[in-house]
Amino acid sequence: MALKTYGIDFGTSTIKISRKGQGIVLDESNIIAIADRKNIIATGDEAYDMYEKAPSNIVVTHPVRNGVIADVANMTALLVYLIKKLSGSKKPGSADYIVATPTDITEVERRSFYELIANSGLKVGKIKIVEKPIADAVGADLEIMTARGVMIVDIGADTTEVSILSLGGIVLSKLIPIGGNKLDEAIKNIVKKRHNLYIGNKTSENIKKQLASAIPGVDASVKVYGRDVVTGLPIEMEVDSKTVYHAISEYLYSIIDTIRVILERTPPEISSDIIDSGIYVTGGSAKIFGLSDLIGQETGLKVNICDDPANTVVKGLSRIMDESRLSSLADHLKTKHFIN
């Protein structure tokens, strides 16, 4: 039996790793910097510091996009580096792995997570898959092993997954390509359009964190720096929360539309459970001001923003590793039914 077990959440913006008995042991940007197409010069947070600042011979890239592995070679290199870092050895001992994957993806995409670890060159014991909504709910301390239905909405970096869970499994799930990065892009575009100011992705993300609101009427502003579209010179500009609201509201309503689609197809007996307990929201963008109010207004349901929403998946992996009653939630690849 392997001495260690790692739980891995391969997020688009971050990679989070937990270890059996120890909880979260790593939380870094899921990004890698490569010089001259072959030499890895930085990974994780160190590579993120280089993002949008590197010269042409250094490529800084995210190996995961839209919730699935887009660059196997770089993701493998990053994973091996991080496992060696956690083990404190250039030759880590054998370990088991539990990986969280989105539900509404193809079997080929799901298998790529499995094969990434199996072919990494690390000493690998067992590899098991946990569907991300299940890990999400477990990490949010929701009881999903009973017949009581639960609805969870995970707003990630590139995707949002809306799921109904019951009896330890997925009843319904739908994944849409809208997440925090899409909101950042929308803010970036509206600032360029309204202020003739070109800003970077990091700046637009900071604007989102400080000013994003799901409801109109919030009055706040922040100073930002960028390049004037007309003159090409660096300038300072003030962006207000109304501008940010207009940039992101369309995408927030798209998420709400998906929630409605799932609710419309939810079995009546589970619907009654959701009326009692409400909708649970997790993910990095769950803390957008007024989000619970907006979803509540549009659905007529109670909305719960989970504690520490960015880490619920990796916390769920920790519980599945540590609590024997939850171990059955981690399994080999299975086929699921999705909403189209």
pLDDT digits (tens, 9 = 90+) for 289-334: 999 999 999 999 999 999 999 999 999 999 999 999 999 999 865 4
Do both 91 and 168 map to the same domain?
A: no
Do both 97 and 118 map to the same domain?
A: yes
- Checking if the pLDDT of 1 tops 50, the result is no
What is the structure's pLDDT at 2? 47
**Mean pLDDT of the region 111-128:** 94
**Could you tell me the pLDDT band of residue 237, with boundaries at 50, 70 and 90?**
very high
What is the structure's pLDDT at 236? 95
**Could you tell me the pLDDT band of residue 191, with boundaries at 50, 70 and 90?**
very high
Do both 51 and 152 map to the same domain?
A: no
Q: How many CA atoms lie within 13 A of 196 on its CB side?
A: 8
Segment among 5-9, 205-209, 250-254, 332-336 with least mean pLDDT: 332-336
**Does residue 45 lie within any of the structural domains?**
yes
**Does residue 335 lie within any of the structural domains?**
no
What is the structure's pLDDT at 259? 98
d(Cα 161, Cα 257) in Å, to the nearest integer?
12
What is the structure's pLDDT at 37? 81
**Does residue 336 lie within any of the structural domains?**
no
**Does residue 334 lie within any of the structural domains?**
no
Do both 32 and 92 map to the same domain?
A: yes
**Does residue 148 lie within any of the structural domains?**
yes
Closest CA to 173 of 183, 159, 158: 159
pTM, whole model, 2 decimals?
A: 0.92
**Does residue 25 lie within any of the structural domains?**
yes
Q: What is the CATH number of the domain that holds 10?
A: 3.30.420.40
**Could you tell me the pLDDT band of residue 21, with boundaries at 50, 70 and 90?**
very high
Do both 180 and 213 map to the same domain?
A: yes
What is the structure's pLDDT at 337? 44
What is the structure's pLDDT at 66? 87
Strand order in the sheet with 197-198: 197-198, 221-228, 234-240
**Does residue 302 lie within any of the structural domains?**
yes
pLDDT tens string 120-142: 999 999 999 999 999 999 999 99
Do both 53 and 147 map to the same domain?
A: no
- Checking if the pLDDT of 335 tops 80, the result is no
Do both 157 and 242 map to the same domain?
A: yes
Q: Please give the mean pLDDT across all residues of the chain.
A: 93
C-beta atoms surrounding 144 within 10 Å: 23
What is the structure's pLDDT at 38? 80
Do both 97 and 161 map to the same domain?
A: no
Do both 210 and 284 map to the same domain?
A: yes
d(Cα 221, Cα 211) in Å, to the nearest integer?
7
State the residue range of the domain holding 123.
Answer: 4-136+313-329
Do both 132 and 221 map to the same domain?
A: no
Do both 219 and 97 map to the same domain?
A: no
Contact between 129 and 231 under an 8 Å Cβ cutoff? The reply is no
Number of domains composing the chain: 2
Percent with pLDDT over 70 in the chain: 96
CA distances from 157 to 13, 100, 125, 147, 187 (A): 6, 15, 30, 31, 15
Do both 158 and 283 map to the same domain?
A: yes
- Cβ burial of 150 (10 Å; 0-12, 13-18, 19+) is buried
**CA–centroid distance for 260 within its chain:** 21
d(Cα 217, Cα 230) in Å, to the nearest integer?
31
